[in-house]
Structure 1
């Protein structure tokens, strides 16, 4: 798009007929300048987008969080936890899913000390992993879907009488401490 706009601006005629021939029109010259600037910006943006985020990069990201793997015998996609291939019937070893570094969390607001210990005990009692959140807050998770975090919030409030909210814990904002491996 930027190349087309630049090309159109360069061939644009900025002169108008006058009594003794043709003279340059300041309005048309300003319009050509605007088209040149916009075309240049679009061209640079297109080049940067092409270099940084091609279509293949999102496929790689999706594949890295997939819950499937290739069967070692027939190369068909099977679940990570599978012990037998559904395509060829080969016995395979189950692979533990990768530990999430970010995701949806049932966040429990608390203060340092006894309040924090009580929240952490409630999370552990339900079998959820406890993760540090911002400040003294503790979270249950992370979970891959928001729905799983909502279920954890309901279980925390219903079974443990602990108030929690659903938050997204990321690794790039710097808001949350890093998770241990």
Structure 2
């Protein structure tokens, strides 16, 4: 292999990999409506959390995240972060079919989660936010970390975010 070919391959390979991951991420379908139906069937009075947040706090957090995708996040990471690490993280999560993030990290600038809210009320709030998001035809707000997402990308982000947090919830 000559030097020119080696340099060209070395420069283009990361872009080819990123393009491939982007294609995989875009091809995956995340059925938010199906997840919504599954959430409706959960017996809220029999749920427990293995994390530092209660079930109610987890559900409130998920509702906040979905609400902010429509109405705007209180604080955002820098544009540089959103266009580099944030965007790359979203693409990697969507391509992998799973998200991994600190499960007790609040949304920057969001109001504190209310410990006294019942699981039933918090679940109703989450289901309402999912319903409003699905029906939403307006412009979507940039995600605080991932930047500008279209509706299909937000479907992915919300689905993966909910699934990630559901790992902490079990039937008691």
- Higher RCO (CA 8 Å, separation ≥ 6 residues): 2
- TM-score class normalised by the smaller sequence: under 0.3
TM-score, L = length of structure 1: 0.25
TM-score, L = length of structure 2: 0.25
Instruction: Select the structure that is richer in strand.
Output: 1
